[in-house]
Chains A and B, each alone.
Chain A
């Protein structure tokens, strides 16, 4: 499998399509246990991302993901802006100077993204945040030792649905305590869309 600038752009385009289509759904999820801006925040951010990267001929993956990161940081806001921004910044550093990434390098870059999210948000698995999707997915890829994107997307979906059972300990939903149980975490849903988009982008 080759993951180059073309695939990376495709990933971002598909991710944006999914988020635009699901904007209302993400908003509803965030209205239930947050402040209702997650759909607007991510839709605004990824729209800007695809516009930004469309016009640039990137020499390497690092500079592409740096633009993705900087755009998300400046346009998303809320909690998810710095979290996704940090994730792509870490990917950018991991893929610095690389025209293409092999399986191992891409998995390592995603691993770096997860550690960025965890360093920024200080959440661990079970606290009803996007980490509940990211961590098991990265663990699976690490175990497989290769980029099993389809399996990763399936697991992401399952883990997203599982956040329904959890009580929020981090983020705005934590103020609701037990009242947060019974709702899917909005950031876990948008994270699932990212992994689903990656699988589609790699399919070709």
Chain B
């Protein structure tokens, strides 16, 4: 049986947004008749507007990152379903100050097409639009011939760094360049202990036995690399990190930011336990951790599990990562 604190499975996104906007009305508003959340002062003069979004169910992503130094708007789709182009278009129009709008899209066929379509409609209305497609999930094989890797928690680093540069008045081209640089340097890998249930579906998206875990899970419960038996936090952490290292060139002396992201039902206690091992492994490899983020950044409803993201940094990325941000879910 589905046990959730909701009223109507078909109204969860609306009810959530109303509750959110009322709580943070000093900084956010909802565009009337849409599921678009924008910062109160949008459009900000002289600034590239930054828009992201996707299906709901990943809270605090994406509306939690709307605010100074990060996103100007978040477009919230149905649970785990891409928002439609008309909604994305409304977001673009609401945040364009004349300097252009930048879209941060996670790599899912539906998201990419709906956002691209909105971009074309906006361009037809005379708004300049650029975009980046985030594909940090190393669980999925990357290939130019297929759909390719998915976008998961590493997306938050793109929001942070592109947002910081835009806040300084950089051009659309500059924002695009830095966002692409982040995408090239960020890798993530996740695992699930338990599945989650989409309210309208009423039953879990997949099944896991008493002692089973899914390694390489997607944030919508898409299948991972393999089902294995539950092991210690240290062993699981090692598996996840090794997969990331296999895909990312890191050398002695490199600097990284680390994100230990809870998928919704994993206590902070366990996330810290994971981070203990992550820091030990990185130390052993003589990789310097500039900053660690531990918490819920990109969840998957009530799924238990976590993802680990590493972002390789240089001086300019460090400066932007450290720059001020004032959003519900991330403050600097």
Binding site for B on A (CB under 8 A): 35-37, 70, 73-79, 81-83, 85-86, 120-121, 169-172, 174-176
Q: Is there contact, CB below 8 Å, between B117 and A169?
A: no
Q: Is there contact, CB below 8 Å, between B109 and A172?
A: yes
Q: Is there contact, CB below 8 Å, between A175 and B218?
A: yes
Residue of B nearest to A80 (CB): B110
Q: Is there contact, CB below 8 Å, between A82 and B113?
A: yes
Asked if A73 meets B117 with Cβ closer than 8 Å, knowing A171-B147, A174-B146, the reply is yes
Interface of A (DSSP majority class) = helix
Number of A-B contacts (CB under 8 A): 71
Q: Is there contact, CB below 8 Å, between B147 and A77?
A: no
Q: How far is the CA of A174 from the CA of B109 in the complex (A)?
A: 10
* Top 6 A-B pairs, shortest CB-CB distance: A82-B113, A174-B147, A79-B110, A74-B86, A79-B109, A78-B110
Asked if A78 meets B147 with Cβ closer than 8 Å, knowing A120-B116, A175-B140, A175-B223, the reply is no
Q: How far is the CA of A73 from the CA of B116 in the complex (A)?
A: 12
Contacts of A73 in B (CB 8 A): 84-86, 117
Q: Render B78-119 as a binary contact track against A, CB cut-off 8 A, 1 for contact.
A: 101111111000000000000000000000111001101100
Q: How far is the CA of A74 from the CA of B83 in the complex (A)?
A: 9
Q: How far is the CA of A77 from the CA of B86 in the complex (A)?
A: 10
Q: Is there contact, CB below 8 Å, between B201 and A36?
A: yes
Q: How far is the CA of A114 from the CA of B305 in the complex (A)?
A: 42
Q: Render B156-167 as a binary contact track against A, CB cut-off 8 A, 1 for contact.
A: 000000000000
Contacts of B78 in A (CB 8 A): 77
Asked if A170 meets B114 with Cβ closer than 8 Å, knowing A73-B84, A175-B222, A176-B223, the reply is no
Q: Is B77 on the interface with A (CB-CB < 8 A)?
A: yes
Binding site for A on B (CB under 8 A): 77-78, 80-86, 108-110, 113-114, 116-117, 140, 145-147, 150, 201, 218, 220, 222-223
Contacts of B150 in A (CB 8 A): 175
Residue of A nearest to B121 (CB): A73
Q: How far is the CA of A108 from the CA of B97 in the complex (A)?
A: 40
Asked if A121 meets B81 with Cβ closer than 8 Å, knowing A35-B220, A82-B114, A86-B117, the reply is no
Can you name 27 A-B residue pairings with CB atoms under 8 Å?
A: A35-B220, A36-B201, A70-B86, A73-B84, A76-B84, A77-B78, A77-B82, A77-B84, A77-B110, A77-B114, A79-B110, A79-B113, A81-B110, A82-B85, A82-B117, A85-B117, A169-B145, A170-B147, A171-B109, A172-B108, A172-B110, A172-B147, A172-B222, A174-B147, A175-B140, A175-B147, A175-B223
- Extra contacts, 6 of them, besides A76-B84, A175-B222 (Cβ < 8 A), are A79-B113, A81-B114, A86-B117, A172-B110, A175-B147, A176-B223
Q: Is there contact, CB below 8 Å, between A35 and B116?
A: no
Which among B81, B109, B145, B223 is the interface contact of A77 at CB below 8 angstroms? B81
**Least Cβ distance of A125 to chain B in Å?**
13
Q: How far is the CA of A172 from the CA of B85 in the complex (A)?
A: 19
Q: How far is the CA of A81 from the CA of B85 in the complex (A)?
A: 9
Q: How far is the CA of A82 from the CA of B80 in the complex (A)?
A: 17
Asked if A170 meets B113 with Cβ closer than 8 Å, knowing A35-B80, A74-B86, the reply is no
**Least Cβ distance of B34 to chain A in Å?**
11
Contacts of A121 in B (CB 8 A): 109, 113
Contacts of A169 in B (CB 8 A): 145-147
Contacts of B81 in A (CB 8 A): 37, 77-78
